[in-house]
Amino acid sequence: FAAEKMDCGESLFAAMSAFVSSCMSGHDPSHNPAHVHRVVAGANTILAAEQALDPAAHFDSTVVQLAALLHDIGDRKYISQVAQSTSDTSENKKASLDPTTMVREALLAHGASPDLSAKVQTIVSHVSYTTECKDPTAIQRLIEQGYPELAIVQDADRLDAIGALGIGRCFTFLGAQGRRFVPEGQWEMDNAIEHFGEKLEKLEGMMKTETGRQMARVRTERLRIFRGWWEEEMGMSAGST
């Protein structure tokens, strides 16, 4: 993360980057620190573009950057893996693996203010697609009422789930985790393509910023083209047998 210019204290960002590495370096490449790095860079790009579009809009860049950096901390799909990677089984450690508080705790432990820590935790807790599907109006309300940075971080994370990178991540995720997430009797690669229609191609319509929407349009088209190639080749192999 060293190459990026950060508006929050350099040392806080550096300490939290080290925390992210310690939690996520062992994850499969769909959710490793390189994904986080792309989301931070994407969030900075969207932030700059949104500020240029509307100079009156106010986003706290420290909140954007820290929330982007920490957005996948506490991901329930990986939490047991994070727990296993540490030999410390004390009550302290267990408490620090609570997905609803671990970002806030880590920020407080590194000297962030209670306000900043709570704000970043709230954003991180509401970034995911699953959370949004459960209650879309709650997300909209948060964005409008004090958490505009959520829109930027969410869009940056979703842009990494579509386009060429999204295709790479989807196959990587199922290659690494498949047996846990693919229904009995289905092949991992077929499930990956199914995931395009079930989720990935819907993300464009859920973008929260104008900049994110424009970028998502291009990347979603790439998904559709790829899926077309896939179906064509599948049809050819079916036809040739």
Which residues of the chain form contacts with Ni ion (CB under 5 A)?
72, 157
Return the number of the residue (41 or 108) whose C-beta is nearest ligand ADP: 41
Residues 52 and 108: beta-carbon distance below 8 Å:
no
Q: Which does 169 bind (CB under 5 to 8 A by kind): Ni ion, ligand ADP, none?
A: ligand ADP
Q: Is 174 in the site for ligand ADP (CB under 6 A)?
A: yes
Separation CA 109–CA 111 (nearest Å) = 6
Does residue 61 touch ligand ADP according to CB under 6 A? Answer: no
- Where are the alpha helices (H) located in the chain, listed in sequence order? 10-24, 33-53, 61-70, 79-84, 91-95, 102-109, 114-125, 129-134, 136-144, 149-159, 163-181, 188-198, 210-239
The distance of closest approach from Cβ of residue 38 to Ni ion in the complex, given in angstroms and rounded to an integer, is: 9
**Quick one: DSSP state of residue 7?**
S
Residue 125 engages ligand ADP in binding (rule: CB under 6 A): no
Q: Which is nearer to ligand ADP, 108 or 142 (CB)?
A: 142
Residue 30 within binding range of ligand ADP, rule CB under 6 A:
yes
The least distance separating Ni ion from the CB of residue 41, rounded to whole angstroms, comes to 13
Tokens of 54: 């509307």
**139 contributes a contact to ligand ADP by CB under 6 A:** no
Residue 187 touches ligand ADP, criterion: CB under 6 A? no
Of the residues 119, 195, 208, 219, which one makes contact with ligand ADP according to CB under 6 A: 195
Exposed e or buried b for every residue in 167-193, given b needs 16+ CB within 10 A?
bebbbbbbebbbeeebeeeeebbebbb
Residues that bind ligand ADP (CB under 6 A): 30, 128-130, 157, 161, 166, 169-170, 173-174, 181, 192, 195, 200
